[in-house]
Structure 1
Amino acid sequence: MTTTFLQAGDRVLLTGDSITDWGRDRDQPDSPWALGHGYAGIVAALAGARRPDLALTFHNRGIGGDTTRMLRERWERDALALEPTVVSVLVGINDTWRRYDGGTVTDVEEYEEHYRAVLDATRERLGARLVLVEPFVLPVMPGQEAWREDLDPRIHVVRRLAVEHGAVLVPADGLFAAAATRAPADRWAFDGVHPTPAGHGLLAEAWLDAVGLGAPR
């Protein structure tokens, strides 16, 4: 079998905001149907189909609306307590969005502080391998072109943290930008942020490619 980033028996945690949350069953968070119907559920389905020998277990702890501060506040309960061996994080668009819809500014330094804290705790407590997914936006709604000024520095933080922590990086922002040259932006993210079914499929395939479980070619 081809060697992948994932190992036999891995417990994989996918967490972040609504993009990961996406319809998961919070009342039964560890049931087989609790992964939602977004990219997290697709990742689990395809990983299991492509490498059943790995006997992977997946958990989804995304919460809609979360910023990096909110993710940090629940990290002990929703991440460390689960003792995952692989942790995948997608967070940051709400730190940007709240600036433009509510005037709540999280500067880049604070964003990095919260993000770094959860990664450091994960490495120190669990020694888990990390997958970092870039936050992204497509210019679908009025004014979203201006979001780049706030979001781009956060994307650079994620890239830098991936290097520092030896994490796998899923370059989602560039991925969605490239997809928008092949079909209209709202074909991939209906409001520029939340993926359509096609967008979730795109993100799931990119995640699987990054960890070495992409579709055979």
Structure 2
Amino acid sequence: MIISLRNSATVLFQGDSITEVGRLSDPGSPLGQGYVRLAADLVRTARPDGDITFVNRAVGGDRVSDLRARWRDDSRGLQPDVVSVLIGVNDTWCRYRSGEVTSSRSYEDDYRAVLTLARDGSDAQLILVEPFLIPVTEEQWGWREDLDPKIHVVRRLAEEFDAALLAADGLLNQAARTAGGAEHIAGDGVHPTPLGHRLLADAWTALAGL
């Protein structure tokens, strides 16, 4: 599915550190230094006469429950035409780092609430980016037991909400094989390298029909 990105539109990106990429620590880079900025640059190049506003409200370390809790404050007054969400890897990471478990049911309930809020009072088009993991250690292969069901949740919600789906997990893991190893795509298995961000940006803009 491809969304219809109008020449006059507001695009809201939400998520965790993969989407934030320094936008909170560097006031001069409100879109961060990752795939959001790259995607915005690609869109502006393709639509030089467009009036498209890009907004990044992602917060590093967030889980889906955090995103749900701050959604109304972050979105107040924006009325976005497109909402792009990437959230979930911290819900898995926290299980193995600190024993804080987010069940697939809780993840789905909170994610569905986020999408319902995003659609509340608007006809915003949705882009859901799968959470992903490109294992660089043997331990991280075990994380897939927790992450894979959450990826399936995102796919089901994309169908339920008629959202465009960016199948990032398969895309980036295949890219790792082509590039010669996971570290070329995500140095720690989670946070993309510049190449990883470029691949996400290219895939995102393809969903926008560019």
Q: TM-score over 0.5 for the alignment?
A: yes
**SS of 1:175's equivalent?**
helix
Corresponding position of 2:7: 8
**What stretches of structure 2 of length at least 5 have no aligned partner?**
none
Q: How does 1:128-147 map to 2 (within 5 A)?
A: 128-147=124-143
Question: Per-residue displacement from partner, 1:121-179 (whole Å, max 9, x unpaired)?
Answer: 22122221100000000111340000111001100110111111111110100101110
Corresponding position of 1:198: 195
Corresponding position of 1:208: 205
Q: How many aligned positions are there?
A: 208
**SS of 1:104's equivalent?**
coil
Q: Which runs of 4+ in 1 moved over 4 A?
A: 25-28
AA aligned opposite 1:146: G
Question: Per-residue displacement from partner, 1:77-118 (whole Å, max 9, x unpaired)?
Answer: 112442111100000000000000100000000000010001
Question: Per-residue displacement from partner, 1:31-64 (whole Å, max 9, x unpaired)?
Answer: 7x31011000001111001112332110001100
Q: Does 1:68 align with 2:64?
A: yes
Q: Distance in 1 between matches of 2:204 and 2:4?
A: 11
Q: Distance in 2 between matches of 1:22 and 1:174?
A: 22
Corresponding position of 2:19: 20
Structural RMSD (CA) = 1.5
Quick check: 2:104–2:149 contact (8 Å CA) kept in 1? yes
Quick check: 1:80–1:126 contact (8 Å CA) kept in 2? no
**What stretches of structure 1 of length at least 5 have no aligned partner?**
none
Corresponding position of 1:176: 172
**SS of 1:193's equivalent?**
coil
Q: Distance in 1 between matches of 2:191 and 2:5?
A: 27
Q: Distance in 1 between matches of 2:136 and 2:12?
A: 30
Q: Distance in 2 between matches of 1:168 and 1:5?
A: 10
Identity %: 53
| TM-superposed deviation, 1:25 | 4.2
TM-score (norm 1): 0.91
Quick check: 1:22–1:37 contact (8 Å CA) kept in 2? yes
TM-score (norm 2): 0.94
Q: Distance in 2 between matches of 1:201 and 1:74?
A: 28
